[in-house]
Amino acid sequence: MIITIIFALFILTIVDFVYNGIIVPSIHLNLRYKLFELRDRIRHLMIDGNKMATDKQYEYLHDGVNNALLLVTRLDLATLFYFYNRLKHDEILQKRIEKRIGILEECKSIEFQKLRMEIAIVLRRSFIANLGLWVFIAPFAIPFLWPIEKKGRISKDVSCVPEEDLAHIQMNCAFSH
């Protein structure tokens, strides 16, 4: 019995090492490259003088990509729970995020909204990758996260956090890496 437990833990250790040491860094690199590509597309639209969005909308979308770049390696359950706990108790942060989301949603350009959606998809993929072996525990968290994500709130809220608040959230996350 003890030998079986030790063997199972040894196998689990190897799987964890392979996943977190080899696979996840490759996924993070791929997601970062995708975000760099999205940021370049946003910059080209701004430089080309495309007036499909206001300067403020471009700025907030650009900030969203930069936020996503900062969170690719850190977006996990602990960070999300800390973020939503802070959001629940900080009305000023709520208003700032809602204002940013409102400004971004005012833009009727399909290409602009497509860029926002692509950022959200990258954030979702990084969240899934960062779950690691917790993916076996995640089904128990889905009932709590599904109503939020169904509206696209996780990716919208996280990508719309002002940079100074995002730095504060990262520094104060109880389970930071």
How high is the pLDDT of residue 140?
A: 60
Does any domain span residue 39? Answer: yes
Angstrom CA distances, 71 to 76, 124, 125, 164, stand at 9, 11, 11, 14
Q: Does 32 map to a domain?
A: yes
Name the token pair of 168: 């504060």
Closest CA to 69 of 32, 102, 117: 32
Residue 143 inside a domain? The answer is yes
Q: What pLDDT does residue 40 have?
A: 95
Q: 64 is written with which tokens? A: 């969203």
Q: Is residue 168 part of a domain?
A: yes
**Mind giving me the DSSP string for 127-174?**
HHHHHGGGGGTHHHHHHHHHHHHHTTHHHHHHHTS-HHHHHHHHHH-T
- Look up residue 15 and give its two tokens: 């799987």
- The two three-digit tokens of residue 36, written as one number: 């760099």
Please list the rounded mean pLDDT of every run of 10 residues in the chain (177 residues).
88 88 94 96 84 86 92 86 84 89 88 90 89 65 54 61 68 52
Residue position matching structure tokens 């629940």: 88
**177 in a domain, yes or no?**
no
pLDDT value of residue 31: 97
Q: Count of domains in the chain? A: 1
Please write the tens of the pLDDT for every residue from 47-89.
887 777 888 999 999 999 999 999 999 888 888 888 888 888 8
Domain boundaries, position 49: 2-172
Is 76 within a domain?
yes
The letter for the amino acid at 87 is L
Long-range contacts of 34-41 (CB under 8 A, 24+ apart): 34/118, 34/122, 35/65, 35/68, 35/69, 35/72, 35/119, 35/122, 36/69, 38/65, 38/115, 38/118, 38/119, 38/122, 39/65, 39/66, 39/69, 41/115
